[in-house]
Structure 1
């Protein structure tokens, strides 16, 4: 299902951007160069994202790639005076695409963690969020993280939520998923007891899911940044662009458009 969705994305691209699939054959543009040098030589910033992760990056009703991360990434590229080229991959493959040189950065709400910082460079944060527990309405029994002990909990494979659950609630039964729809199907069918997800994603999703509810307030505050391989020069360029978007109000404006509040601070 997710691969078909990405194929459909190839048919409807936003103006001034392109979308390819991570792992496609052929040498990437600027082969032999890395990071800032490749971006400068090609005047293109290759941006890894899922493309099926509303409200951050997904195909809209008009067939165009849209979402908070998409608009932020386009503004980032514009500020850097380069073209945005989007490269779709499953979440679990995003960092692999980065390591293989298929992308220059990943813009997909990647949480900044010490483990990831030990291997990759991150930009300054561009969103701040937290974890939310989602359960079936009327089920009860779960009101916070402590109640997840002994419960079957669905999380995205390779996500911060999986890592948090394994480290902080070892008595929970972890169920991993490659996509959001499947884990919510399992939640509705009673195959799992709860789902962990980003509070911003959950708030948007729950608007159209009256049978599901937030079980307690968000917890474990987290910041998200642009991810890249170790490259001090590229990090400087990305950080300068993020600072510029924040200073002139463009970052806050994009946030207000998608969430009705500033989720970037």
Structure 2
């Protein structure tokens, strides 16, 4: 499937076809309006009923990483894919949303300490998280690693990156696989994606390994940088395989898990997730990749 012509219309270049070779994207973001939460009527009848920390409120520790989720301050405005989806999920269950923007590591800790009902920001589903949190059977979108680097020093495979210094986000699923691939002393952890990209620009690291959508968001801001999705590589499965994004939530609350799974299924069927991607300037072949995988 050749996607070169489609992506070039949006400032995106490809090395070759998706699924057969690495995908290079230099632009995929844009300005999007804040999500307005609807008022909950007193006579609202929830589609599902499940316990929350505070009655009538869904507490969400949200990883602040556009376009997945973005907040200019703790009080908003709130933007991004999960701001759209979580707000709708809460509303259909007669709940107000209290978004708490923070880093991914802080959000995961917040949920694990029982201070939130849900961890938002399109979070990777993993076995390790499943031991601590509730996770849905279904998924929102697929995700995989993206490597962001200067356009003159881009990398099409993990093996090409041998000997370079790589940044990643603290608490990320990719920390240990990156250490195994490149050596612990060659991997720098960051608390925020902004700090990681600043160090990349300053030359203190050579590349960043993170969720591809985060990489695209930053390389879109600077034409001197590019994000590449490498091929699946059996020698580096955890760095090249597809993961599913979902919302980790309070463990052992089956009613909440069931409600989330029901929402995911309907949101795929009626095009809600596809529309949320489009509202964040992710469409065409790239949206198909996130929705359906390689």
Rate the CA distance shift 1:88–1:216 in 2: closer, same or farther, 3 A.
Answer: closer
- What are the within-5 Å matches in structure 2 for residues 1-265 of structure 1? 14-16=35-37, 36-38=50-52, 42-51=55-64, 53-59=65-71, 64-123=77-136, 124-139=138-153, 142-170=155-183, 173-215=186-228, 217=230, 219-230=240-251, 231-258=253-280, 259-260=282-283, 261-262=287-288, 263-265=290-292
Provide structure 2 residue ranges, at least 5 long, that are not aligned to the other structure.
1-33, 40-48, 232-239
TM-score (norm 1): 0.78
Distance 1:43 1:144 in 2: 48
Aligned residues: 233
Query: Which secondary structure state, in structure 2, belongs to the residue aligned with residue 191 of structure 1?
Result: coil
Contact 2:147 2:208 (C-alpha < 8 Å) held by counterparts: yes
Query: Which secondary structure state, in structure 2, belongs to the residue aligned with residue 86 of structure 1?
Result: strand
Runs of 4+ displaced beyond 4 Å:
none
Report deviation, 1:181.
Answer: 1.8
Rate the CA distance shift 1:152–1:102 in 2: closer, same or farther, 3 A.
Answer: same
Distance 2:87 2:186 in 1: 39
Provide structure 1 residue ranges, at least 5 long, that are not aligned to the other structure.
1-12, 19-34
TM-score (norm 2): 0.71
Report deviation, 1:42.
Answer: 1.4
Contact 1:177 1:183 (C-alpha < 8 Å) held by counterparts: yes
Contact 1:148 1:172 (C-alpha < 8 Å) held by counterparts: no
Contact 1:76 1:245 (C-alpha < 8 Å) held by counterparts: no
Query: Which secondary structure state, in structure 1, belongs to the residue aligned with residue 153 of structure 2?
Result: coil
Report deviation, 1:106.
Answer: 0.8
Contact 1:80 1:241 (C-alpha < 8 Å) held by counterparts: no
